[in-house]
Structure 1
Amino acid sequence: MPAPNVTPIDDLLWTATRYSDVLQIDRRVVAQALETAPSQERNGVRVWHVRAAFTAIADRIGGAAKKLNPDDMEPKDQLDHWKAANEKLKFAENIGKVVPAAHIERTLGAAFKALAQTLDSLPDALERDCGLPPLAVTAVQQAVDGARNQLYDALMGALDAKT
């Protein structure tokens, strides 16, 4: 049986088109990946060794997932990242998936103000409309104050847990 035709690894020099064909990746993506890899010229054609080329292509293809931290990106990529994040946030706001914090603060402020006014007037209304004796009104006032303090503590605890 004849010896198989084996090419030494040091002789594996391919063009960008060959990498594109073998890996079935768009030639432009391969060319971008190979820009930083060391190359040689053979017969007037630029070629790359498989070790350096595959590493560069793998970094280009799989490296996008590693660059999620904008501080690690190139300035142009940072700008693109923040523009895309801003557009995503605007879209989420437009479809009602996200509500501006100022709107939530106003709405919750109005709701809690109405609740506080109702709780403040409750003992007087019970005394006036139901004929509750002063001792019972005092007990209601203390119960309402206790409930308000519990509500306040729960809200502050929830806010502290978020920060």
Structure 2
Amino acid sequence: MARGALSIPTACRPRDRLDHYRAERERLKLEAEQRLTLSATEVEAAVSKILKALAQQIETLPARLERDFGLTAAETARLYPAMDAARESLHAAAVEALRA
């Protein structure tokens, strides 16, 4: 077998290809045990938690501005289009990131 063939498992002999994939599976198991990698489910849960917290902060922003800075309801109402756009942007970014 050529020296460069190991980098392309499909070009290897069947036995070498099997050894390669077994070694890769063991490497991935070890990384998971050592918490060097996360499963897709764990990543999705973490992203969801972060985005929910961020969305909560966006939702409460008008009330906090009224309370802490004395803005009127009419003044804070002008924030809603920007808040909606921010939420939509976050959603689109999350969908795109999880699709990749």
User: Structure 2 length normalisation: TM-score?
Assistant: 0.74
Count residues with an aligned counterpart.
Answer: 99
Mapped to 1, the partners of 2:36 and 2:91 lie a distance apart of 28
Mapped to 2, the partners of 1:158 and 1:106 lie a distance apart of 15
Q: Which amino acid aligns with 1:126?
A: L
Q: Does 1:69 align with 2:8?
A: yes
> Which structure's residues are more often strand, by fraction?
1
Correspondent of 1:124 among 58, 63, 75: 63
> 2:79 is paired with a residue of what secondary structure?
helix
RCO greater where, 1 or 2, for CA within 8 Å and sep 6 or more?
2
Q: 2:23 aligns to what?
A: 84
Q: Which amino acid aligns with 2:97?
A: L
Mapped to 1, the partners of 2:45 and 2:97 lie a distance apart of 17
* Aligned CA-pair RMSD: 2.7
Percent identity reads 28
Q: Is the 8 A contact 2:5 2:11 kept in 1?
A: no
Q: 2:72 aligns to what?
A: 133
Larger radius of gyration: 1
> Which structure's residues are more often helix, by fraction?
2
Q: 2:97 aligns to what?
A: 159
The one-character-per-residue Cα deviations of 1:1-26 (angstroms, maximum 9, x if unpaired) are xxxxxxxxxxxxxxxxxxxxxxxxxx
Q: Which amino acid aligns with 1:137?
A: T
The one-character-per-residue Cα deviations of 1:81-138 (angstroms, maximum 9, x if unpaired) are 11001111122223332222211110110111121122112223433x2442122111
> 1:103 is paired with a residue of what secondary structure?
helix
Gaps of 5+ in 2: none
Gaps of 5+ in 1: 1-59
> Any residues of structure 2 matched to 1:95-106 within 5 Å, and which?
95-106=34-45
The one-character-per-residue Cα deviations of 1:3-57 (angstroms, maximum 9, x if unpaired) are xxxxxxxxxxxxxxxxxxxxxxxxxxxxxxxxxxxxxxxxxxxxxxxxxxxxxxx
Q: Does 1:114 align with 2:53?
A: yes
